[in-house]
Structures are given as structure tokens and as C-alpha cells.
Homo-oligomer: A and B are copies of this chain.
Amino acid sequence: MKSSKKIKREEFIRICKLHGLKITPQRMAIYEEVTGSSGHPSAEIIYRKIKRKYPGISFDTVNRTLLTFSDIGLLQIVEGYGEPKRFDANTQDHHHFRCLRCGSIIDVYHKRYDELEIPAEIETHHKVIRKRVVLEGICKQCRER
């Protein structure tokens, strides 16, 4: 276990250098916390956990660092985007493409997506009300800039 932690640390340093980021103790701590924690924590939850070990750290640093990590692909932002709620009165079966830069949502109509089955291990435990495929990336307009 000790050596796998060391390997993880070296990997982290490699990726940071690759992107020209400095290796700070704060970043190290946040990286270790977030890769070590299962679940899908918010910035606030990660901040509270890290604060036990590093009482001096600020929320802003945790949040900013998480966003940096998401920029360089060390983690992803999922399901909650910290953005206002978006409403959709389109009752037709459809899916979405979402631009990671400007946040615009484009409807996707694709029959194969409508026909997706629900995995048995989900269906037996939880009640599934709806299913949707979410594609994420950079939209045409943002690419042209």
C-alpha cells in the first residue's frame, strides 16, 4: 500500500509538470484526498476533510484546485455543474449534447439511445424514472473561437 501511494504521487508530479503546474503541498493533499475518496463529493466536502489535516487551507484553494484538476483531466465534474437549473418542456424522447465551455444544451434525437436497457442490478434496487444520454464537449460556436 505504501508503495502504491508513492507511485500515485510520482504520477501526480509527472502530470503536473506536463501541464506546467507547480507542486504545492496543497495540491498534493487535494489530489490524495480526491483520488482516495469514493462517492462524488462536492468541493465543500473535500474542503472539510482536508482541513482536518491542513487546518490553514482555504476553501478557495480547494475549489480552484479541483477546477484545475478537471481542466487537465485528473477528474471530471459530473451531474451537478454548479450552474442554475435548466428546464425542459420537451416531452419527446430525446438526449443532450452539452458544451463544457459555454454551457449551451443541444437536443439530440437518436433512436438507439431511446432503446437503452436498464442494467438489472440498478432496476432491482432503485426506481428508474428516466434515462438520458449526455454527450459533453465543445460546441461549434466555441470551437470557432
A9 at the interface (CB under 8 A from B): no
In the bound complex, how far is the Cα of B130 from the Cα of A98, in angstroms?
A: 10
For chain A, the count of residues having a C-beta within 8 Å of the partner chain is 66
A29 at the interface (CB under 8 A from B): no
Partner of A87, one of B34, B84, B134: B34
A86 at the interface (CB under 8 A from B): yes
A18 at the interface (CB under 8 A from B): no
A16 at the interface (CB under 8 A from B): no
* Minimum CB–CB distance for A39 against chain B, Å: 8
A1 at the interface (CB under 8 A from B): no
In the bound complex, how far is the Cα of B139 from the Cα of A52, in angstroms?
A: 31
Q: Is the CB of B126 within 8 A of A106?
A: yes
What 0/1 pattern do residues 55 to 86 of A give for CB contact below 8 A with B?
Answer: 00000000000100110001111111111111
CB within 8 Å for A122 and B108 given contacts A85-B80, A87-B34: yes
Partner of A34, one of B84, B89, B96, B134: B89
Q: Is the CB of A96 within 8 A of B84?
A: no
